[in-house]
Amino acid sequence: MAKDRSFATKTAKAEGGKDSCPVCGDAYAYLRHISTAKSAKTDAWKANRKMVRVCGCNQKEIYG
């Protein structure tokens, strides 16, 4: 039997308990934070990619 794939079920899943901040109650926005670092061995620049969750609490820390 096929799964129910309606828009309402997708939004209900996105607004679930794990995707909201326990402190401020805002929904998390997932962003890819890219920083650069110089390699010690080859003196080449490399990109460090990391997924971060942003809400109202840590928005100033992430965006600067």
For every residue of 31-58, DSSP letters joined together read EEEEEEEE-TTT--EEEEEEEEEE-TTT
Model pTM score? 0.52
Domain ranges of the chain: 20-63
8-53 pLDDT, tens digit per residue, is 777 666 555 467 888 888 888 889 989 999 988 888 999 999 999 9
Cα distances (Å, whole numbers) of residue 44 to 21, 34, 36, 39: 38, 16, 10, 5
In angstroms, the CA 57 to CA 17 distance is 17
Instruction: Please give the residue that has the higher pLDDT: either 61 or 2.
Output: 61
